[in-house]
Amino acid sequence: MENGNGSKRDCALDTNAMEELGRRLFDYSWDVGHAADIQRMNEGKRGHPFVYSDALIAWIVLLRTVLKTSYRLMLGIANSFITRTGLPPISLTQLFDRCTSIGLNIGSEERFLAFGAGNVTPKPYRITVALDATGISLNKYGGWLAHRWNMKKASGWIKLHVAVDVSTNEILAFVVTDESVGDISCTDKLMELVMAAGHDVGKLLADAGYDSKANWNRYLGMGMSVCINIRSSQVSDRSRPSGRYRGRSYGCVARGNAIRRINKVGRDQWKKENGYGMRWKVECTFSDLKRILMDILRARTRWNCVQETLNKVLAHNLYKNIRVQLRRV
């Protein structure tokens, strides 16, 4: 099988990375420093003190995300490990409350349900970033009832907009919206999150959904190499019988040059000359995320759907980070 840059996919590496992820899911790394974490969390706290550290809850969230289990089943699995360390078993209510509030390094802003940066360490070199979005289906509970009684509100999806490092397929930043929000409106927020996390972006790749002279000018002005696919309506003027091609810059010289080059050599050749084929790596990221962690959200409320999406992103990045480490060995 070939990946986006034409090279063979290393299936053996994928298998080893998946095995290593499974091993890490059942280690006791959260137990190291558990007492110190509890002491820190309870400083100045009023009411009942914390018994379970954030590291422990984060481990449970990761385990539940990868295993794709319900909270009730996760309760039994978690308590089988927790009680072995001498801690009291956690209740279902407490498990749910802690799991739905842990790791919320995200915020809401106007049309965005949530946004945040992935758990990715910046590379010591300039990277190529690809932007894209995908839909994630909402809970399918009661699907027959929705079909039988035409319950349209029972269906739908949310959109996950991402900025991906094409060399590792790690998600550097994400924005969660509903299906009504277009891709282009998330460009600035994604790139803002990527650069705020310390990543040095050398090249930006995106499909025609992100094409605008404002995006070209903004990121060229930041010293990046920009390769955004030009919308078909901007390349040729089909309203004229002569089929006369457009070639004016309209305020962006680089974009105008790209239009003229496409008219001269064709879109496929232009993509090859500019390395646009690497943008396909973001599709590989979506494929891996949905194949390993499912493309359906189990949560029923909107906020819990957002939280579950965040958990999928973090779990995906952990898997990709393991894969990068094994490739270096």
What pLDDT does 284 receive? 92
Residue 169 lies in a domain: yes
Q: Does residue 137 sit in the same domain as residue 257?
A: yes
Given 73, 99, 125, the domain boundary residue is 99
Residue 104 lies in a domain: no
Ranking 94-103, 108-117, 142-151, 271-280 by mean pLDDT, the lowest is 142-151
Residue 328 lies in a domain: no
Q: Does residue 74 sit in the same domain as residue 188?
A: no
Q: Each residue of 204-221: pLDDT tens digit?
A: 999 999 999 999 999 999
Percent composition of the chain: helix, strand, coil (DSSP 3-state, to 5): 50, 15, 35
Residue with the bigger pLDDT between 143 and 236: it is 236
What pLDDT does 233 receive? 78
Residue 5 lies in a domain: no
Residue 134 lies in a domain: yes
Per-residue confidence band for 8, with pLDDT thresholds at 50, 70 and 90: low
Residue with the bigger pLDDT between 327 and 146: it is 327
Q: Does residue 141 sit in the same domain as residue 246?
A: yes
Q: Does residue 118 sit in the same domain as residue 77?
A: no
Q: How far apart are CA 184 and CA 138, in angstroms?
A: 23
- As a whole number, mean pLDDT of residues 32-51 equals 87
Q: Are 6 and 277 in contact (CB under 8 A)?
A: yes
Q: Does residue 94 sit in the same domain as residue 63?
A: yes
| CATH code at position 211 | 3.30.420
Residue 301 scores a pLDDT above 80? no
Q: Does residue 49 sit in the same domain as residue 177?
A: no
What pLDDT does 4 receive? 44
Residue 243 scores a pLDDT above 90? no
Residue with the bigger pLDDT between 209 and 156: it is 209
Quickly list DSSP for 161-215: EEEEETTTTEEEEEEEEETTS-SGGGHHHHHHHHHHTT--EEEEEE-GGG--HHH
Collect all residues with Cβ–Cβ distance below 8 Å to 72 and sequence separation of at least 6: 92
Residue 1 lies in a domain: no
Residue 319 lies in a domain: no
Q: Does residue 31 sit in the same domain as residue 92?
A: yes
What is the domain extent for residue 228? 114-299
Q: Does residue 131 sit in the same domain as residue 55?
A: no
Q: Each residue of 217-241: pLDDT tens digit?
A: 999 999 999 999 998 877 765 545 4
Q: Each residue of 45-103: pLDDT tens digit?
A: 888 899 998 888 888 998 998 988 889 999 999 999 899 888 999 999 999 988 887 65
Q: Does residue 95 sit in the same domain as residue 229?
A: no
Residue with the bigger pLDDT between 130 and 101: it is 130
- With residue 118 as reference, give the H or E element that holds it: none
Q: Does residue 286 sit in the same domain as residue 152?
A: yes
Specify which residues 318 forms β-bridges with: none
What pLDDT does 5 receive? 47
Phi, psi (rounded to 5 degrees) for 299: -65, 155
Ranking 123-127, 138-142, 173-177 by mean pLDDT, the lowest is 138-142
Q: Does residue 137 sit in the same domain as residue 176?
A: yes
What pLDDT does 139 receive? 66
Q: Does residue 190 sit in the same domain as residue 128?
A: yes
Collect all residues with Cβ–Cβ distance below 8 Å to 123 and sequence separation of at least 6: 165, 167, 199, 200
Q: What is the mean pLDDT of the chain?
A: 84
pTM: 0.82
Per-residue confidence band for 134, with pLDDT thresholds at 50, 70 and 90: very high
Closest CA to 322 of 38, 68, 119: 119
Residue 110 scores a pLDDT above 90? no
What pLDDT does 141 receive? 56
CA–CA distances in Å: residue 115 to residues 25, 49, 104, 199, 319:
26, 31, 10, 17, 21
What pLDDT does 10 receive? 75
Q: How many domains does the chain have?
A: 2
